[in-house]
Amino acid sequence: MEYIVETKNLTKRFGKEQAVSGLEMKIPKGEIYGFLGPNGAGKTTTIRMLLGLMRPTSGSVHIFQKDLRKERIRILNKVGSLVENPSYYPHLTAGENLEALRKIIGVPKTRIKEVLKIVRLEDVANKKVKGFSMGMKQRLGIAASLLNNPELLILDEPTNGLDPSGIIEIRQLIQRLPHDYGMTVIISSHLLSEIDQMATTVGVVSKGKMIFQDSIEEMRKFAKQKVVLKVSDSESAWRALLARGMRADWDEKNITLLNQSDENVATAVKYLVKDGFSIYRVEEEKKSLEDVFLQMTKEERLV
């Protein structure tokens, strides 16, 4: 398999602290690679090494099958990036900010208008970035990362600081990119739900180590959510469900269904109604990232 990004034993130490250790990242072409991990897991450090902003303590990075150490500039020609908080020049307008990058990249001037349009900032092109909201700055950062029509786009927590509508907008934009422009996208996040909604492939890091790397479907098996029923007289209701051969748990208050497929939930509800219980709530209990990690490490799905 040919990978757009492939790291081998990628390691970064800060003093005694091992921020990234032995990372083997493999990203096939056209994927949206969700790079998932809690704060401090080493996502930004990894991304900085992918961009040549940081020198690895050991290990190697290959992008487009080329060695980053030897062909950094040739590689970066086709990479767009947004690392951590967006960078900008507050005293310049949005247009001037992009112009300052465009001149170096060497794409035609019309490209500025195009990327501003993609992130819907064309109306404020002549306004100083100083007065922009956090969301607008973030969008400007994404516009900047798209300037050179990259084949690989690397976005480090791009929805940080955005309001819900901004998050949806960015998500829709990112989901279009592989199809519309043939891009491969890396997107990092500490939110399981965010990766779940966007990514096609997932890499999970914890304390600098990759503890899982596979398709989103494989990851969903770990992230399965529980369905919780709140009913009247929950103990009897639970016993009634068990009597009808359903698998469920009871915790003194609520009933938890162990098989949360749509049919199973529907059947359980039907039985409860038939048996004369009142159903107050049928809820999905979200699993936290920590729960998923626990499960991944427990099942020793070390990659």
Ligand X SMILES: Nc1ncnc2c1ncn2[C@@H]1O[C@H](COP(=O)(O)OP(=O)(O)O)[C@@H](O)[C@H]1O
Shortest gap between Cβ of 23 and other proteins (angstroms)?
17
CA 14 to CA 16: how far, in whole Å?
A: 6
Interface pick for ligand X out of 39, 110, 126, 165 (rule CB under 6 A): 39
CA 205 to CA 132: how far, in whole Å?
A: 33
- Give me the amino acid identity at 274: K
Interface pick for other proteins out of 3, 8, 24, 101 (rule CB under 8 A): 101
Q: Give the one entry of Mg ion, ligand X, other proteins, none that residue 85 binds, where binding means its C-beta sits below a cut-off of 5 to 8 angstroms depending on kind.
A: other proteins
**Full strand arrangement of the beta sheet holding 226-231:** 248-250, 255-257, 226-231, 279-285
CA 54 to CA 51: how far, in whole Å?
A: 8
Interface pick for other proteins out of 37, 42, 86, 208 (rule CB under 8 A): 86
DSSP string, 86-125: PP--TTSBHHHHHHHHHHHHT--THHHHHHHHHTT-GGGT
CA 135 to CA 159: how far, in whole Å?
A: 8
Q: Residue 40 interacts with ligand X (CB under 6 A)?
A: yes
Token pair listed for 183: 């891009």
Q: Residue 74 interacts with other proteins (CB under 8 A)?
A: yes
Would you say 83 or 229 has its CB closer to other proteins? 83
Stretch that binds other proteins, among 58-66, 94-102, 114-122, 268-276 (CB under 8 A): 94-102
Q: Give the one entry of other proteins, ligand X, Mg ion, none that residue 136 binds, where binding means its C-beta sits below a cut-off of 5 to 8 angstroms depending on kind.
A: none
Q: Residue 44 interacts with Mg ion (CB under 5 A)?
A: yes
Report the DSSP pairing between strands 248-250 and 279-285.
unpaired
Residues 6+ apart with CB under 8 A from 55: 49
Q: Residue 55 interacts with other proteins (CB under 8 A)?
A: yes
Q: Identify the CA nearest to 155 among candidates 184, 112, 120, 176.
A: 184
Would you say 19 or 143 has its CB closer to ligand X? 19
Shortest gap between Cβ of 293 and ligand X (angstroms)?
13
Alpha-carbon dihedral sign for residues 226, 278, 265, 196? negative
Q: Give the one entry of Mg ion, other proteins, ligand X, none that residue 19 binds, where binding means its C-beta sits below a cut-off of 5 to 8 angstroms depending on kind.
A: ligand X
Q: Residue 43 interacts with ligand X (CB under 6 A)?
A: yes
Shortest gap between Cβ of 101 and other proteins (angstroms)?
7
Q: Residue 14 interacts with ligand X (CB under 6 A)?
A: yes
HSE value, Cβ hemisphere, 13 Å, CA-based, for 150: 28
Identify the residue whose tokens are 């990978």.
3
Interface pick for other proteins out of 30, 54, 173, 297 (rule CB under 8 A): 54
Residues that contact other proteins, how many (by CB under 8 A): 32
Return residues touching ligand X (CB under 6 A): 14, 19, 37, 39-45
Q: Applying CB under 8 A, which residues contact other proteins?
A: 48, 51-55, 73-74, 76-77, 79, 81, 83-92, 96, 99-101, 103-106, 141, 144
- Site residues (vs Mg ion, CB under 5 A): 43-44
